[in-house]
């Protein structure tokens, strides 16, 4: 979906046009990715978030992105606020704080497609809940499509559509409630993770 390579079979369509026919730079300008282990650079919080934008951004825009990512409370409480140095790969912050800064960096671009690659899997339960709230807020934008890859079912429980993969293929799909009613793979996965 990031267009780093083309599929070997089938096609990824964007508004009816094959992704292979779109210029990668044009397509990627509307896509943001939050990875399992986000990269933070050895510079300030402001600079780390601004890296996500193609142009200059104001402190107000940075604050809005931080608020949307549920990061503003901890950023504004730092002695140097946005001017706080992150340290090597964000070593000054917890995993949940790093993840929320990465979400803010993604949201500063106001992407049409937000890709979440195991965005909460490395977090403890408390941090996961905070980051999950931030991701839910980001997904509420009606013009944004959010695609989440997750093993933790609590991450995707409220998604409009869930696709369960088995053996490299889609085994079933539907909402959380629909998949629970069907009684195939998904209910067993929920039971093993204590997801109701």
In a domain, 47, yes or no: yes
**Residue 190: what pLDDT?**
92
> How many angstroms separate the CA atoms of 157 and 185, rounded?
15
> How many angstroms separate the CA atoms of 65 and 102, rounded?
10
DSSP 85: B
In a domain, 90, yes or no: yes
Exposure string for 162-172, b = 16+ CB within 10 A, e = fewer = bebeeeeeeee
**Residue 47: what pLDDT?**
95
Tens-place pLDDT, residues 10-27: 888 888 999 989 998 888
Tens-place pLDDT, residues 105-148: 998 988 888 898 887 776 777 777 777 777 777 777 667 888 88
In a domain, 179, yes or no: no
- The two structure tokens encoding residue 149: 């890859």
> How many angstroms separate the CA atoms of 134 and 97, rounded?
11
Number of structural domains found in the chain = 1
pLDDT band at 151 (very low <50, low <70, confident <90, very high): confident
In a domain, 95, yes or no: yes
In a domain, 150, yes or no: yes
List the domain range (segments joined by +) for residue 109. Answer: 21-159
The enclosing domain of 150 has a CATH number of 3.40.50.300
In a domain, 12, yes or no: no
State the pTM of this model: 0.84
In a domain, 5, yes or no: no
Average pLDDT over residues 75-92: 92
In a domain, 16, yes or no: no
Residues 6+ apart with CB under 8 A from 132: 120, 154, 155
Residues 6+ apart with CB under 8 A from 137: 68, 70
Secondary structure of residue 82 in the 3-state scheme = helix
- Listed residue (74, 155, 67) closest to 104, CA to CA: 67
């Amino acid at each position: 979906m990031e267009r780093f390579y083309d599929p070997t079979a089938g096609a990824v369509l964007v508004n009816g046009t094959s992704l292979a026919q779109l210029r990668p730079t044009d397509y990627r300008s509307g896509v943001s990715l939050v990875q399992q282990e986000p990269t933070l650079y050895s510079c300030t919080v402001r600079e780390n978030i601004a890296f996500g934008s193609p142009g200059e951004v104001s402190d107000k825009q940075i604050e809005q992105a931080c608020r949307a990512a549920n990061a503003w409370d901890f950023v504004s409480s730092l002695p140097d606020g946005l001017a706080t140095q992150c340290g090597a790969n964000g070593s000054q912050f917890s995993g949940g704080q790093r993840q929320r800064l990465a979400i803010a960096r993604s949201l500063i671009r106001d992407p049409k497609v937000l890709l979440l690659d195991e965005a909460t899997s490395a977090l403890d339960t408390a941090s996961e809940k905070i980051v999950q709230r931030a991701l839910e807020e980001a997904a509420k934008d009606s013009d944004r499509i959010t695609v989440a890859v997750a093993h933790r079912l609590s991450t995707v429980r409220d998604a409009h559509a869930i696709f369960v993969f088995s053996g490299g293929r889609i085994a079933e799909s539907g909402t959380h409630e629909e998949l629970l009613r069907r009684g195939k793979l998904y209910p067993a996965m929920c039971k093993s993770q204590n997801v109701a």
